[in-house]
Structure 1
Amino acid sequence: MFDIAKLQVLVVDDLKTVRDITRALLLDHGIGRVETAEDGAPALAFLDRLAAARENGAEDAACDLILLDLNMPGMDGIEVLRHLADRRFAGHVALFSAESARVLRTAEALARAHSLNLLGILPKPLTRDAVQALLARLRDGRAPQAQPALAPPDEMELLDGIRRGQIEIMVQPKVFMRSGRPMGAEALARWRHPERGLLGAGQFVPLAENGAAAEPLFDATLGQALRVAASWREAGLELQMAVNLSTANLSRLDLPQRITAATAEAGLAPGAILLEVTESRLIHDVAAALEVLTRLRLKGFQLAIDDFGTGYSSLEQLQRIPFEEMKIDRQFTGHAAHDPAARAIVSSSIGLARKLGMVTVAEGIETRADWDCAAGLGCDIAQGFFIAPPLSPAALPGWLAGWQGPPAA
């Protein structure tokens, strides 16, 4: 269970004033323990002391989150990222810097290349809204710290988990930006591991790409998504369910028949299901992907190109595949409010989609500024923590009852 009072946060910044203000703000939000360090060297020393304490049996000796400045006169934040990767740091990292947007995006890409659990970028000075958004992200994706010695799961362990029914879904709502009306939700796979706790998709879905677990994982996710969507219909909720397709799925020439049969068995029409494809995955086995996606569209399923702008052949995919929805990646929508380059990319993507007759979705809407920027640029649909974090399917009706549109600015 997520307990803010039990969190331990480390603030790394060379300015004492910034450290003190940030510490006070975090404590004011109920975080139990907040430590500070003036640069990377004492920060790493603190983490090493925690590791030694864990080896001696101290179960709560773990750092859940590091707020990391980049430009420090001692060991800078970029070097710290490498050392965190070397230590296989299991907590989360948020970059905390006043550097330019381009530098921050590069640092963000570096953290992800190091396979660190990056929660995003925080403004300087830190605001209450930014802390609340950060805690919401942490609440959904917090990695368990109780068993740091466990090795990462492998494909065989995932296959066993699928067979044992450990895969479940959460749903994240999508709303129309103009009216605020909910229009659907995306099914997000989770692995309820008996020892590791609840694992997010990033911790196990890559294990299944193009491997033996790919098909059973998709089948398990789709089956649950269809059952949830059917229960929505029975309750009178006209919501569209989005499900992700993987690389391996796109090479299954029988996939259109299988999805059609499963959808009909659930009592749903194909139009109730939207299938999302990450554009970078389409470069593998192009002929099979084109056949599968076109046949799915002919059968009435809607298609979305996910993470638009992050692949190498975006425009080519739009030309040859009958997508109806464009999901603009969070690395652009999450920076557009403050970064002219990101805003230009979002604006041009929306304009392109409109000319192609496509609906646009802004992913990663986490603050009021993100919402206002995307709405001002003409985006159709929003998804992100500003609207709602991923929810259990059972919690969605309660969220719907309480949703009254975005808070007033």
Structure 2
Amino acid sequence: MDSVTPEDAIKLAAIRRKTDVCVLDAQQQMRTFLADTLEELGFVTCECAHLAELPAVLGSRLPDIVVIGPSGGGIEACEIVELLAADDFDGHVLMLGSRVSPMVAAVRELGKGLGLRMLPLLATPFGRDDVRACIAALVPSALTPIYPANAAEALAATTLELLYQPKIDTRTLGLSGAEALMRPLHSPAHVSPNDTPCLGPVLEIVEQAISDWRYFAARYGHFEIAINLPIAFVQDPEAIKKLCQQIPEQSAFGGLIVEIDAAEAVRNLRPVRDVARLLRGRPVALSIDNVGMEWPLLSELDEFPFVEIKVARQLVGGCAGDRRKQAICRRIIDLADAVGARSVAEGVENRSDLVAVLEMGFSLAQGSLLAAPMSSPRSARSSVQAHRS
């Protein structure tokens, strides 16, 4: 499949999650300003430059809010409002324009008359604070914290749900696999780190992840499952033995990626290398997660034990406007290329960073802009069964 351009990536990434806001304005600069401001508030945005592009958005994923920019005033704004009403749009409509413009007032009255939920006018000129204040009541509520699935969280598994953060191929924006994450279902109890994690709960998580792989593989084709495990588990020969026993024998199994935090891995490089040797020939491989300023230590290894280098979100977040972060990311990518490993950008949360990640040449990317965490099929089935009962 041909590689996608950064412009295509922005469009595709915007529709991978539910589109919250559609920004419609003829001027690119205005659309970008509004989209960036809204994304800072937690919305996912898409853009339309002209009325003709709006039906495609309404026909794919219905937005919660349609923003009609200042240059969309006049006759076209009337047509936009009429199109939304004809499509039975039940979201909100935010119009931007002058308070003293008769045309703006007429369009807003037309929208109300057609039964649209017109928000108060955002009067020009305006700034970011004005945009925030105008839609404050519609800002998405904070998401429940999500944590990498590891042994510590497994000890509180009765209050946690297994989710999967998609890993996206940056060449095609196709789904490559997913990382298992944990999210509290109820009031999250504090879980202390455990240097000698209990083997049972961790293996139960692995067992569920492999079970869920069968569902994902049937739906998406080739699919890798990744799970973050503490170094104490990886160093336990009995744990590794039992882990390998759980791996399906089907040739279609996409593989299990065991992620180890970089801070732990660099302090235990020799045993990590021994584990990598033990896993050779099996559909299980090691990934080093959350790589930051310790990356030079990895370049000194004679034998590289990892198939994947995941760059910490602290380096990826804001990289579009930070040359220092870009320089570090490029060096890590060069290291990955040199040792035949994949490079993964974690925490891609906005369009600017996505473009930078694509241009730098990361192999894979993760983040809410590209795709929201997917529920465990087991959780979904349990919910359906509970509802039916």
Per the shorter chain, which TM-score range? 0.5 to 0.7
Q: Contact between 2:272 and 2:305, CA under 8 Å: does it hold in 1?
A: no
Q: Contact between 1:137 and 1:389, CA under 8 Å: does it hold in 2?
A: no
2:213 is aligned to 229
1:180 is aligned to 173
Tell me how far apart the structure 2 counterparts of residues 142 and 126 of structure 1 sit (CA, whole Å). 29
Tell me how far apart the structure 1 counterparts of residues 343 and 202 of structure 2 sit (CA, whole Å). 25
Tell me how far apart the structure 2 counterparts of residues 142 and 315 of structure 1 sit (CA, whole Å). 28
- Of residues 254, 257, 270, the one that matches 2:238 is 254
Query: Mean alpha-carbon deviation: is it higher for 371-380 or for 283-292?
Result: 283-292
Give how far 1:171 is off: 0.5
Q: Contact between 1:208 and 1:217, CA under 8 Å: does it hold in 2?
A: no
Q: Contact between 1:230 and 1:268, CA under 8 Å: does it hold in 2?
A: no
Tell me how far apart the structure 2 counterparts of residues 234 and 243 of structure 1 sit (CA, whole Å). 20
2:194 is aligned to 209
1:218 is aligned to 202
- Of residues 372, 376, 388, the one that matches 1:393 is 376
1:303 is aligned to 286
Tell me how far apart the structure 1 counterparts of residues 228 and 166 of structure 2 sit (CA, whole Å). 15
- Of residues 118, 139, 142, the one that matches 1:138 is 142
Change over 3 Å in CA distance of 1:296–1:261 after alignment to 2: same
Task: Give structure 1 stretches of 5+ with no counterpart.
Answer: 1-23, 31-123, 144-154, 398-409
Q: Contact between 1:137 and 1:385, CA under 8 Å: does it hold in 2?
A: no
Query: Mean alpha-carbon deviation: is it higher for 172-181 or for 249-258?
Result: 249-258
Tell me how far apart the structure 2 counterparts of residues 370 and 396 of structure 1 sit (CA, whole Å). 32
Partner letter of residue 330 of structure 2? S
Change over 3 Å in CA distance of 1:175–1:314 after alignment to 2: same
Tell me how far apart the structure 2 counterparts of residues 29 and 256 of structure 1 sit (CA, whole Å). 40
Tell me how far apart the structure 1 counterparts of residues 377 and 130 of structure 2 sit (CA, whole Å). 32
Tell me how far apart the structure 2 counterparts of residues 189 and 142 of structure 1 sit (CA, whole Å). 6
2:255 is aligned to 272
Match status 1:334 vs 2:317: yes
Give a deviation string over 1:139-162, Cα, whole Å, max 9, x none.
24299xxxxxxxxxxx8x974x44
Give a deviation string over 1:323-373, Cα, whole Å, max 9, x none.
111111111111210111111111111122112211111111000101100
2:343 is aligned to 360
Tell me how far apart the structure 1 counterparts of residues 251 and 140 of structure 2 sit (CA, whole Å). 33
Matches within 5 A, 1:142-161: 159=155, 161=156
Q: Contact between 2:228 and 2:258, CA under 8 Å: does it hold in 1?
A: yes
Partner letter of residue 366 of structure 1? E
Matches within 5 A, 1:82-161: 138-141=142-145, 159=155, 161=156
Give SS of 1:233's match.
helix
Tell me how far apart the structure 2 counterparts of residues 349 and 334 of structure 1 sit (CA, whole Å). 15
Tell me how far apart the structure 1 counterparts of residues 140 and 276 of structure 2 sit (CA, whole Å). 35
2:33 is aligned to none
Tell me how far apart the structure 1 counterparts of residues 272 and 326 of structure 2 sit (CA, whole Å). 31
Q: Which has the larger radius of gyration?
A: 2
- Of residues 209, 222, 225, the one that matches 1:241 is 225
Match status 1:170 vs 2:163: yes
Partner letter of residue 238 of structure 1? H
Task: Give structure 2 stretches of 5+ with no counterpart.
Answer: 1-36, 44-126, 381-389
Q: Contact between 1:306 and 1:327, CA under 8 Å: does it hold in 2?
A: yes
Match status 1:281 vs 2:264: yes
With structure 1 as the length reference, what TM-score do the two structures score? 0.53
* Count of matched residue positions in the alignment of Structure 1 and Structure 2: 253
Give a deviation string over 1:100-123, Cα, whole Å, max 9, x none.
xxxxxxxxxxxxxxxxxxxxxxxx
Change over 3 Å in CA distance of 1:318–1:228 after alignment to 2: farther
Q: Contact between 2:309 and 2:341, CA under 8 Å: does it hold in 1?
A: yes
2:109 is aligned to none
Match status 1:379 vs 2:379: no
Change over 3 Å in CA distance of 1:189–1:387 after alignment to 2: same
Change over 3 Å in CA distance of 1:287–1:386 after alignment to 2: same
Change over 3 Å in CA distance of 1:208–1:223 after alignment to 2: farther
Give a deviation string over 1:206-256, Cα, whole Å, max 9, x none.
x2431344x334223212211110222344632111111212112201233
Give SS of 1:320's match.
coil
Give SS of 2:237's match.
coil
- Root mean square deviation, CA, Å: 3.9
Give SS of 2:163's match.
strand
1:189 is aligned to 182
| Percent of aligned pairs with the same amino acid | 25
Q: Contact between 1:167 and 1:220, CA under 8 Å: does it hold in 2?
A: no
Change over 3 Å in CA distance of 1:388–1:136 after alignment to 2: farther
Give a deviation string over 1:143-192, Cα, whole Å, max 9, x none.
9xxxxxxxxxxx8x974x44xx4443110111111211111111012343
Give how far 1:318 is off: 5.0
Give a deviation string over 1:3-57, Cα, whole Å, max 9, x none.
xxxxxxxxxxxxxxxxxxxxx989x999xxxxxxxxxxxxxxxxxxxxxxxxxxx
Tell me how far apart the structure 2 counterparts of residues 393 and 182 of structure 1 sit (CA, whole Å). 16
Change over 3 Å in CA distance of 1:248–1:333 after alignment to 2: same
